[in-house]
Chains A and B, each alone.
Chain A
Amino acid sequence: MSMVRVFSEYERDFVEQADVAVVGSGPGGALLAKELSCAGHDVILLEEGPPFTPADFELDGGLSMARTLREGGLRTTRGYVMPTMQAIALGGGSLVNSAICVRAPASTLEDWCGEFELEHTSRADLDPHYEAVEKFLGIAPTPDDVLGDRNLLFRKACDALGYSSEPIARNVRGCRGSGECFTGCRARAKQSMDISYVPAMVKAGGRVLTSVQVQQVLAQGRRATAVTGRVVRPFSGEPSHSFRVDARVIVLAAGVMATPVILSQSGDLANHSQQVGRNLQFHPGVAVAGIFPERTNPQFGATQGYHSLAFIPEGFKLETLWAPPALLAVRLPGFAQALKQRLAEIPYAAIWDAIASCNRSLGHVRARRGTMDPVITWHFHPDDVLILRRALWILARLFFAAGARKILPGVHGQPPEMHSLEEARVLADSELRAIDLVCGGNHVFSTTRMHGDPGRGVVGEDGRCHDLDNLYIADTGILPQSPSVNPMHTCMALAHRIAGHIAEAL
């Protein structure tokens, strides 16, 4: 039997046994499964989505989202309404993200330790784990030859204003700057989990079940005994055969939205603290388009190749951005001929964005009745809106410092185009409401947060659920709050550490 089973290979209900069952093949789950397989344990990795080959990638933005993202890429929050994207594919979000790998700042981790009663989660504690991940995935700063004009203009702008900036470190090998990170890397430069940790896990003897939706964790007393669920058809989600995987250790790495839903559907498992599904945080992001006098050829270059961490103390991070133009165009203002005029300016455009650490803006996740889909509710705290207002102003300054002839800030109630810094000053001075922004809900955290106090968190620093002896969580849900930067690297570092704890426990 093949080590990676796909939908067409399930012919009947089945039961499997393993030392460890890992639910979810995103960065946390795939890494952990590989580490434990290489340590000699019998591991089964379960993934709800299908595995993609490069021939399966759809270059069209909308169709790509429909195939690789949950709810067809149309998932939104309630409360404050914004889109949020979670992947459903072997490799999880790593298949369609920009491969950004940034270590969390030491100051942020210090804050975590103080506020969440953590004793072993300082930067010094995590650095060996970050290093292990970097070595395996070849994480390195984006080289100049694949930056392209969009990224180089950002560097020029930061230099002009004296803001520190740097090429983004990414898990890529041999990037050609094709700018296709969000639809799947046809050049196979991006070391997404499906072509990095998963093959390594399989090589070490691990087994992978794709197109299986875990719906419940079974437990007896303080021990989780198995996961159960249904085989689901790729894309439609139509259920077919039932399955059960018995395991000595179970790891949930299904993601910030799915993990709490599984726990909830398992009889409110691991929820003595009443924190499962709560404390939901995002990195809400805004993007500004700048139009330059010369062509920027924006389709060339690393999707997100440059960033500035200069404003982390103020709560936001600046970075360059590229995505399928149809998705970026959603942010362009206008209609009819005015919209066409702006579309025609795409070859002259650069798009830069800001993501904010909004620790005051919280939400929660619960299961939609009768489904495994989450209902996501999140509220934007007015003080956190001010962070993004400040970020918009800084982005405006950067664009004009780089020589943009106009910017499109995408803020309701403000001029759709601003032609000078003086015009843009309104971004800094206006009364901005959350509903005036076109925000995206990037990066999600904390719905099964790590906390030293079992009464206030779901897992401890070893990733083990406080309420059970052998149930672990290894996705960004365990981050107690925003890591201030893109979370994938920190998620993988924590998963690497958790793998060590599990190996000791087995």
Chain B
Amino acid sequence: MGIWLLAALLLLWIGLRVFGGYRPLPPAVVTLTRREYAFVAAAADATFPRGGPIEPSGCDAGVPRYVDRYLAVVPARMRRLMRLLFFLLEHAPLFFPPGGPSGLRRFSKLSPSAQVAYLEGWQRSRFFPRRLVFTSLRSILTLGYLSDPEVQQALSLTPQEIDTPICEADGLWPRIGESRA
């Protein structure tokens, strides 16, 4: 009886450590779950740490909010795949530990240096699917990072002002979602 109780407590402890204790979502986040938000925020700052040639970090540049918005507009099947990607990378430190004193922790609970080491492990893997997973994550985060106006300004990539000339197609259809005038 005592052993079973101990095992149950151990499982509970592992479960809480791996799956529990996520912070509440910030306001206006509508698509990401608490776990996903924590993962994306941590991954954004690991991928784009503050300072260096472009000052803002991933979170400074609003990457988690961008991903929240992006997730809402991609088709349902892709949304499921992206969620699977986040889940996999959040919990895979159990199977691909970054080295050092990381313990039994999920990605978002690792130290910043361990997070970097962990993702670099995926980037440099000789196993193609692992590199593919990393590239997918980094692509999503980069989309968000480069959408930030401050980052765009730092790179001289602010969109130009362009006036749209009249053409024969005008009036043939309304803006998407609007009714014909």
Contacts and interface: CB of A to CB of B under 8 A. Distances in A.
Nearest to A58: B73
Interface in B131-181: 131-132, 135, 138-140, 142-147, 154-157, 159-160, 162-165, 167-169, 172-180
Contacts of B69: 63
Contact of A81 (B73, B120, B132, B169): B132
A8 interface: yes
Contacts of A55: 175
A210 B167 contact: no
Interface in A26-82: 50-56, 59-63, 66-67, 71-72, 74, 81
B142 A329 contact: yes
Interface stretch (A14-22, A240-248, A334-342, A442-450): A334-342
Interface residues of A, number: 66
Interface stretch (B11-19, B44-52, B91-99): B44-52
A72 B73 contact: yes
Contacts of A365: none
Interface residues of B, number: 56
B146 A329 contact: yes
Given A59-B159, A202-B172, A340 B164 contact: no
A347 B156 contact: yes
B23 interface: no
A52 B179 CA distance: 14
A346 B75 contact: no
Chain B binding site: helix, strand, loop or mixed by DSSP?
Answer: loop
A56 B175 contact: yes
B75 A71 contact: yes
Given A74-B78, A234-B177, A297-B156, A326 B73 contact: no
Given A51-B172, A66-B73, A186 B146 contact: no
A198 interface: yes
A239 interface: no
Given A54-B164, A335-B119, A4 B173 contact: yes
Given A335-B138, A343-B155, A186 B164 contact: yes
Given A2-B180, A234-B176, A340 B53 contact: yes
Interface in B69-84: 69-70, 73-75, 77-78, 81
A238 B47 CA distance: 35
A62 B75 contact: no
30 contacts: A2-B173, A9-B180, A50-B176, A55-B175, A66-B70, A72-B74, A72-B78, A74-B78, A176-B162, A178-B160, A180-B162, A187-B163, A188-B165, A188-B167, A195-B167, A199-B168, A297-B156, A299-B156, A299-B157, A326-B142, A326-B147, A329-B146, A335-B116, A336-B46, A337-B51, A339-B47, A343-B53, A343-B146, A344-B155, A438-B135
Given A330-B135, A344-B155, 14 more contacts: A6-B176, A8-B179, A56-B175, A66-B73, A74-B81, A195-B169, A237-B75, A299-B157, A326-B143, A326-B146, A335-B138, A337-B52, A339-B138, A344-B54
Interface of B: 46-49, 51-54, 66, 69-70, 73-75, 77-78, 81, 116, 119-120, 123, 128, 131-132, 135, 138-140, 142-147, 154-157, 159-160, 162-165, 167-169, 172-180
* Among all A-B residue pairs, the 6 with the closest Cβ atoms: A62-B143, A344-B53, A72-B74, A326-B146, A199-B168, A51-B173
